Chains A and B, each alone.
Chain A
Amino acid sequence: MSIFKLTAAALLLTAAAARAEGPGLGQPLDAAEIPFYATYVKPDGTGLPAGSGTAAEGAEIYAAKCASCHGKTGSEGPVMPPVGPNDVWAKPAGRYWPYATTLFDYIRRAMPLEAPKSLSDDEAYALAAYILERNGVIEAETAMTAETLPAVKMPNHGNFLDVWAKQGAKPW
């Protein structure tokens, strides 16, 4: 083996060691094997699937699957009512959260509590539309889709201070 080849081999070994101090037992992950809940819909709408839902459609689903926890119209509770203002929860999702995209993702991955991931994409869009309409954030006839949902301007959007950006790990 030439000096050049030896040097090249040594460099390769060093690069491998720097890359991982562990035994390197991870297996290649195919994109098709990643379930939807391993990502999150981003505020700009990245990750939103095709589909559509209106507040009227959402009202029916809400009454059947959500009202028992969040209240008849979304503001009664007992559990964290998403419509505000209300007397139960100071942070109603449809009014307090900075981005509307969070509504779709959370509903699709986690709701209803006893049967998470059971809703279709259209149902999740419809429920997001219902909550946003009940909060006066969108018009009743506006369907929520991959295009319209990230365009919704949330009323509390500009009212947050990012403490991590301001002071890192120093407690607030």
Chain B
Amino acid sequence: MTRSDIDGAALEYAAGGGLLSRRMLLASAAAGTAAGLALPKAARAEAKIPEWSKTAGARARGYGMPAAAESAVQRAIIEPWQDVAPAFSLSGTPHHRLRGTITPSGLHFEVHHGGRPDIDPARHRLMLHGLVERPLHFSLEALERYPMVTATHFLECAGNSLFNAVMPEPMQAGCDMLHGLLSNTEWTGIPMAVLMEEAGVRPEGKWVVAAGADGPSLARSIPMEKLMSDGMLALYQNGERLRPEQGYPMRLLLPGFEGNMNIKWLTSLWVTEAPVHTKDESGEYTEILADGSSVQFTFAMGVKSFITHPSSTMTMSGPGFYEISGLAWTGAGKVAKVEVSADGGQSWAEAALAGPVRPQALTRFSLPWHWDGSPLVLMSRATDETGAVQPARADWKARYHASNFLHYNAIQPWQITAEGAVQNVYL
């Protein structure tokens, strides 16, 4: 007996399209255990023993690697101008190949406006200057001696999901391309307030211009209020030193704020009285609205979710039991609720949230589902603790100029065909 053999007529439905009550999780797990016990004894005796159970294995190694059979689990590389400007490069996390909530460090997304620098940690330093009582510089060696904090937070590029935002027809690609400029990490580092207080911020110092040590010295103006409340100088990700892609040896972390502000390879914090309108806050990270005006300093990311299992480019393995699973997050704090629809939005059922639900962090949701083999559309819709609800695509598009692809957080519908193909669609 397999889960797919469970009699559909006996199931407790939560909404249309085959969404099941969350109690179904326990019931089906119990059924699986019972089935395992019922295997006939003869089958065990005759089972073929695989070769890896009959030889000595490989020796220990200094740094682990994924299983060889998983070598296809890679970031999707996007190079918008690969011939003329290859250093402007991105890579997206393959969410459809991962479960849980923490993104493996080697699969964390990248966006580099000028390429990934090769930094000598012994020569790198952090400068703190401008409207402060004591301009200071810190070596990595000195920073390592500071008290550190650990927190799990998502990072999302303001341009995440850009293809869904602007392409006239839905692009058929995986979650790595469609929503991959999003990752979730356990960060460890020094509260920025500790360093700022050591330098002594003057009362007129209301903003900080952070700059990286990369070729273009990417710079952003950051409100002092944010920096002092939960800003972090991150030195470690998921327990190890930052990867070069993530700003080795140090980066700024501003929980919930658009990725571009979390300056990588951080080398300078310049305290000023007002924002300085850097290139990124003047042009690239502003959004043109439907009326032609623009919004700027739209720092926090909105409430958002998408289903990772199943998702586009996947193929269903026949009718029967599945667990729908996906990710939800909000820059405004915690996710309050995620609803799932299996009938294109006609009815919704509340999904289970895997705890702990952390602020400004990815939260995994799930709901059991019995697919009867007919075509339908799956969707997820997140609500955050401020009451903000993920919008439909048409509502999001109506707010903005047609060219805008930033801060796209609309509902993601996945169409499942009668053949079991999962496709990206607009609804």
Q: Which of B88, B268, B332 contacts A170 (CB 8 A)?
A: B332
A161 touching B332 in the complex, CB below 8 Å, given contacts A39-B270, A42-B276, A91-B286? no
Contact bitstring A104-122, B, C-beta under 8 A = 1, else 0: 0110011101101100000
CB distance from B282 to the nearest CB of A (A): 4
Would you give the shortest CB distance from A55 to chain B, in whole angstroms?
A: 20
Contact with B along A4-33 (1 / 0, CB 8 A): 000000000000001111111111111101
Closest chain B CB from A115 CB (angstroms): 9
Which residue on B lies nearest to A112, using beta carbons? B85
Query: In the complex, which residues 263-296 of chain B have their Cβ closer than 8 Å to any Cβ of chain A?
Result: 267-268, 270, 272, 274, 276-279, 282-284, 286-288, 292-296
- Interface hub of A41, A165, A170 (most chain B Cβ within 10 A): A170
Chain A residues, CB < 8 A from B81:
69, 78-79
| 8 tightest Cβ-Cβ pairs between the two chains A and B | A26-B136, A110-B216, A38-B268, A164-B297, A90-B403, A20-B198, A106-B279, A37-B217
Chain A CB within 8 A of B388 CB:
yes
The contact sample of 23 A-B pairs, CB cut-off 8 A, is: A19-B197, A20-B194, A22-B190, A25-B138, A26-B128, A28-B135, A29-B137, A39-B268, A39-B270, A40-B211, A43-B276, A43-B277, A78-B81, A79-B88, A102-B277, A110-B217, A113-B114, A113-B215, A163-B297, A165-B297, A168-B225, A170-B300, A171-B301
Chain B residues whose CB sits within 8 angstroms of the CB of A34 once the complex forms: 127, 129, 135, 268
Given contacts A25-B142, A40-B278, whether A116 and B114 have CB atoms under 8 Å apart is yes
Main secondary structure of the interface of A (DSSP, over half): loop
Q: In whole angstroms, what is the CA distance A25 to B146 when docked?
A: 8
Residue of A nearest to B401 (CB): A90
Q: Is the CB of B284 within 8 A of A91?
A: yes
Is B386 positioned at the interface, with any CB of A under 8 Å from its CB?
A: yes
Contact A113 B278 (CB under 8 A): no
- A residues less than 8 Å from B257 (CB atoms): 169
- Cβ-based interface call for B48 (8 A): no
Q: Are A159 and B114 in contact (CB under 8 A)?
A: no
- Take A22-B190, A26-B128, A160-B293 as given contacts and tell me if A169 and B332 are in contact as well, using a CB distance cutoff of 8 Å: yes
Within the complex, what minimum Cβ distance (angstroms) separates A133 from chain B?
A: 19
> What's the minimum C-beta distance from B90 to chain A, rounded to whole angstroms?
14
Chain A residues 62-110 with CB under 8 Å of chain B are 68-69, 78-80, 90-91, 93, 96-99, 101-102, 105-106, 109-110
